[in-house]
Structure 1
Amino acid sequence: MRTAVFTGSFDPITLGHCDIIERGSKIFDKIIVLVMVNPDKKGLFELEERVALIKKTVCNLENVEVDSYWGLLVDYMKERNYNIIIKGLRNTIDFNYEYDMESANKKLYSDVETVFLMSDRNKGYISSSMVKQIAKFGGELKGCVSEEVECAILEKMKL
């Protein structure tokens, strides 16, 4: 069984993330959406809230599971004997960052492979940071996140 891990902070999960998850689920037997903590970022949602939102968002995809981890991705991969990472790329900035991450991961765990999926052209502009900024100033989130995620964001921000 080919299992791939799609990792991110998902704060919040966007339709761009959902696109990568759905497309990845057609390529691999199983996808683990791994919610990680970035200690350099102050999140809107707590880890458990992000996991719950993702579970609700991907519940229609039978071969997708959601997990969380605090630590190095490669340690998670080694502990569970996984060796494929999925990364979504929106642009060359993402590519440069993810290329460096791939190199670091490979150095730490030589058996790991990273598969890059290009974002859908209609969703490539979406980022979690952008979604939070739009919400903060009362902008329209339709087309960026699911309705359920939009409601959670508005509730969290009390807008």
Structure 2
Amino acid sequence: MRVLYPGSFDPLTLGHLDLIERANSLFGEVVVAVLKNPDKTPSFPLEQRISQITESTQHLTGIEIIEFEGLTVRCAAESRVDLILRGLRAMSDFEYELQIAHTNRSLAADFETIFLATQAHHSFLSSSVVKEVARYGGNISHMVPSVVAKDLIRLFNHE
């Protein structure tokens, strides 16, 4: 079974990596789809985010990393996946994610969205929190893979 895990991953957190690893053990094949959003200016260019994910998942088999722009359901159809995966950190995520799942289902009834709750020790993590801590020189080693930590330290000139 193939599952699509879409996101901007700017940056990839240990919460994201946890979901990738767990989805990989549950479904066998995970397509990590990195969003290219022309309306946003990410901290890291698309190629660097893909590289970070590639390095962070090299211990896994059955991982495919792609870029996408536009509708998630189009990406799902092009990637020939069975399911769309979304992560939940807290109840506050659920309402938004449910709305997106219903929207996707209205656009393409073929695709079910499944939710995985992040492990409790990662539930505080978000890309924006990680960037904020990194910006002010805080310890992020327990928040992101080492390659991402190095890139964030470089980005905010804390070397």
TM-score by length of 2: 0.95
Deviations 1:8-33 (A, max 9, x none): 10001000001000000011020011
Equivalent residue number for residue 114 of structure 2: 115
Deviation at 1:134, TM superposition (A): 0.3
- What CA distance in whole angstroms lies between the structure 2 residues aligned with 1:41 and 1:130? 17
- What CA distance in whole angstroms lies between the structure 1 residues aligned with 2:126 and 2:38? 18
Q: One-letter code of the match for 1:113?
A: E
Deviation at 1:155, TM superposition (A): 1.1
Going from structure 1 to structure 2, the CA distance change for 1:134 and 1:27 (only over 3 Å counts) comes to same
Q: How many residues align?
A: 158
Describe the SS at the equivalent of 2:86: strand
- What CA distance in whole angstroms lies between the structure 2 residues aligned with 1:7 and 1:52? 16
Equivalent residue number for residue 18 of structure 2: 19
Equivalent residue number for residue 89 of structure 1: 88
Give the stretch that moved more between structures: 99-108 or 139-148.
Answer: 139-148
Q: One-letter code of the match for 2:69?
A: W
| Corresponding position: 1:59 with 2:58 | yes
Deviations 1:35-73 (A, max 9, x none): 013444321000111001100000110111111111111
TM-score by length of 1: 0.95
- What CA distance in whole angstroms lies between the structure 2 residues aligned with 1:100 and 1:152? 33
- What CA distance in whole angstroms lies between the structure 2 residues aligned with 1:20 and 1:106? 22
- What CA distance in whole angstroms lies between the structure 2 residues aligned with 1:64 and 1:155? 27
Q: One-letter code of the match for 1:64?
A: I
Q: Unaligned stretches of 5+ in structure 2?
A: none
Equivalent residue number for residue 128 of structure 1: 127
Describe the SS at the equivalent of 1:122: helix
| Corresponding position: 1:151 with 2:150 | yes
Q: Unaligned stretches of 5+ in structure 1?
A: none
Equivalent residue number for residue 77 of structure 2: 78
Misfit runs of 4+, over 4 Å: none
Going from structure 1 to structure 2, the CA distance change for 1:58 and 1:106 (only over 3 Å counts) comes to same
Deviation at 1:80, TM superposition (A): 3.0
Describe the SS at the equivalent of 2:102: helix
